[in-house]
Amino acid sequence: MSAPPLTDDYIALVDVNSFYVSAERVFDPRLIDRPVVVLSNNDGCCVAMSREAKDLGIPFGYPWFKLQASADKLGLAARSSNYELYGEMSARVMGLLSRMSMWTEVYSIDEAFLGLRGTLDEVHAAGEHIKREILRLTGLPVCVGIAKTTGIAEYS
């Protein structure tokens, strides 16, 4: 008789990728696969950038008026921030996550910790499930990091 696989407690950190930009992309697919910035109140400066916009070297906080003239040439799209939308999308994500674990803790508008229990393989499969389901049900891409609770406890 072989020993049962070792199960243990893990913590997953779920984080929406480029949250504001990803939320805008759900409702405007023209923004997918191109550089996108989301602007602060009154369209003053860039407060969120897609991966493609970061690759252009646009830093957080860069003034929009300095970019506007070259936006077309760069293929760069900009959106005014819509915090009502981001709050709504965040609530959807957090609501779904709260049903995927007995223990969740919201860490920020686009990040939450989840408790997961099982073998390492099971916990990795659970992480893949979370990514798939959040994308399927909200349109938002997330990444999932997994750590041992004891490891975190040792260093906290």
Residues found near Mg ion in the complex (CB under 5 A): 15-16, 19, 110
**Tokens linked to 82:** 């819509």
Q: How far is the CB of 25 from Mg ion (least distance, A)?
A: 14
| Choice between 16 and 126, CB closer to Mg ion | 16
| Choice between 15 and 43, CB closer to Mg ion | 15
Q: How far is the CB of 73 from Mg ion (least distance, A)?
A: 29
Residues 96, 97, 100, 101, Cα dihedral to 10°? -140
| Choice between 110 and 126, CB closer to Mg ion | 110
| Choice between 75 and 147, CB closer to Mg ion | 147
User: Is there a contact between 104 and 113 (Cβ–Cβ < 8 Å)?
Assistant: yes
- 63 HSE (CA, 13 A, CB side): 3
Q: How far is the CB of 124 from Mg ion (least distance, A)?
A: 21
**Tokens linked to 9:** 């407690």
Q: How far is the CB of 74 from Mg ion (least distance, A)?
A: 23
Q: Is 12 in a helix, a strand, or coil?
A: strand
